[in-house]
Amino acid sequence: MTTNKQTNDFLYPRHRYHGKVKPENLVFNSNLQEFAQKINYICNLETAGKLPPESAYKQIKSLWKDLKRSKKELGIGQDQ
């Protein structure tokens, strides 16, 4: 019998951060993992015919814009 933790680990995998440990990097890494998980769900729903391609595209585009905004607000990739 699987536990809730095992189920959550399977459905929502998280990976350790291996970069320079700064708060903004950790936040962006978390945002990036959440983005990847949501993209995975959208792609699976579209592939299974549960989500129209145009809707999948719009959702992915919106998630991408959110991730870009997060990167900019956190100052990731800027020379400091």
Instruction: Please report, to the nearest 10 degrees, the dihedral formed by the alpha carbons of residues 40, 42, 47, 49 taken in order.
Output: 150
Amino acid at 28: F
Whether the Cβ atoms of residue 75 and residue 24 lie closer than 8 Å to each other: yes
Structural domain boundaries of the chain?
A: 19-72
Question: pLDDT (tens digit, 9 = 90+) per residue, 22-78?
Answer: 999 999 999 999 999 999 999 999 999 999 999 999 999 999 999 999 999 999 988
Rounded to the nearest 10°, the torsion over CA 75, 77, 80, 17 is 80
DSSP symbol at 76: T
Q: What is the pTM of this model?
A: 0.78
**Cβ pair 42, 57 in contact under 8 A:** no
